Amino acid sequence: MRAAVLQAVGDKHLDLCYDIEMVEPTSHEVVVRITHTGICHSDVSAMNGTIPQDVPCVLGHEGAGVVEAVGSEVTATQPGDHVIAVWSPPCGQCEVCLVHQKPNLCSAIMYHPDRLRPPFSQGGTDIAAMARTGTFTEYTVLYEHGVVKIDDDIPLDIASLVGCGVMTGVGAAINTAKVQPGSKVVVFGAGGVGVSAIQGARIAGAAEIVAVDINADKFDKIKEFGATHAVIPEELDDLKSELTSGHGFDYAFECIGIPSVMRTAYEQTRRGGTCCIVGVGRLDEFVQFNAFELFYNEKKLIGSYYGGVDARVDFHRLLRLWRHGQLDLEGMISRRLTFDQINDGIDAVRRGEVVRQVVEF
């Protein structure tokens, strides 16, 4: 089958392969025919070493498709079901899921022995799957908790986006930061995740939503998703003075993954406000805070992992918002690509040109 493989960290392009094989599913696994996958910046970050990644590896973690086969003990899904892949599925039974009530942080399935074996191979060489998901492929094998069944009438292209970028951004606003009605919000980075944070802030009732991006060509488009203002970084201080009397924003979301922007997001947050880090930076890069300001400003500095998702619940919430016209998913698809165009899509992400691109198999 076809799959896009990262052969070595640092490679600029993925190896488009046509002879990839998949392991047999275990009794608790599900084979999914991937019909659509989004390209997330995290895929590019796995390529350049920002996100640690075993290689060779089938990238992609934002996908949807149709269940092709299920293991003998799988009960929640059956062949023919339309599903979204979950890159960090909850087991629903552990202390993290039940006591901490943080299903997005459950690692029981992520590191389940079934999922630790490489799901793909090529000519006898094992091939890993990004986030144990691997959606840049025609078929993938997922643990049963790693799929969420959706209604058959939901188009699978927009469903795929819910699997990462949309859930992460909307969830950061409504689950993690819990944006309040009437608040003032700034979002750094208007890619798929940032635009979703903008939409999440709009859904939560924010009064002002400022998008900050280096790519001004995107600004008209970004406003269609609910940003009330869009500026390049150099213009932000003036706008902050105008909108907040210089106090800063109630909420700031960093949706890029750059330490200096994380620091700026903290500075743009008002005293007592919330600075939410969604972007993923490198393990060996650091953000500095002086030992006085953390107490003095009383800002809440919080990370958001997968938008605080409980995939079993939140994917359906987002799709209901979409159904009733409150979450624009179609508008987020900047380009539709074939498998052979995946590397063009990767380059477009690097240039910051797109909101989201969807690859159709």
Do 59 and 43 contact (CB within 8 A), yes or no?
Answer: yes
**Which CB, 197 or 243, lies closer to Zn ion?**
197
**Is there binding between residue 193 and ligand NAD (CB under 6 A)?**
yes
Do 341 and 360 contact (CB within 8 A), yes or no?
Answer: no
How many residues belong to the chain? 361
**Is there binding between residue 339 and ligand NAD (CB under 6 A)?**
no
Cα–chain center distance at 221? 20
Distances (CA, A) of 65 to 74, 142, 358, 360: 17, 12, 13, 10
Q: How many residues bind Zn ion (CB under 5 A)?
A: 3
CB of 192 to Zn ion, least distance (A): 8
Do 30 and 136 contact (CB within 8 A), yes or no?
Answer: no
- Judged by CB under 6 A, the residue of 60, 189, 273, 308 near ligand NAD is 189
Contacts of residue 277, defined as CB under 8 A and 6 or more positions apart, other chains included, come to 254, 262, 265, 301, 302, 303, 304
Report the partner that residue 278 touches, choosing among ligand NAD, Zn ion, none (CB closer than 5 to 8 A by kind).
ligand NAD
- Judged by CB under 6 A, the residue of 190, 227, 311, 332 near ligand NAD is 190
Q: Which of residues 19-78 bind Zn ion (CB under 5 A)?
A: 40, 42
Q: Which of residues 168-187 bind Zn ion (CB under 5 A)?
A: none
**Is there binding between residue 161 and Zn ion (CB under 5 A)?**
no
Do 206 and 185 contact (CB within 8 A), yes or no?
Answer: yes
Q: How many residues bind ligand NAD (CB under 6 A)?
A: 32
**Is there binding between residue 275 and ligand NAD (CB under 6 A)?**
no
CB of 115 to ligand NAD, least distance (A): 18
CB of 101 to Zn ion, least distance (A): 23
Report the partner that residue 187 touches, choosing among ligand NAD, Zn ion, none (CB closer than 5 to 8 A by kind).
none
- Judged by CB under 5 A, the residue of 67, 164, 185, 321 near Zn ion is 164
**Is there binding between residue 255 and ligand NAD (CB under 6 A)?**
yes
- DSSP state for residue 79 in the 8-state scheme: T
**Which CB, 33 or 282, lies closer to ligand NAD?**
282
Nearest to 171 by CA among 43, 292, 307: 307
Contacts of residue 204, defined as CB under 8 A and 6 or more positions apart, other chains included, come to 173, 174, 178, 179, 180, 181, 183
Write out the residues near ligand NAD by the rule CB under 6 A. Answer: 40-42, 45, 164-165, 168, 188-194, 212-215, 233, 255-258, 261, 278-280, 304-306, 349, 352
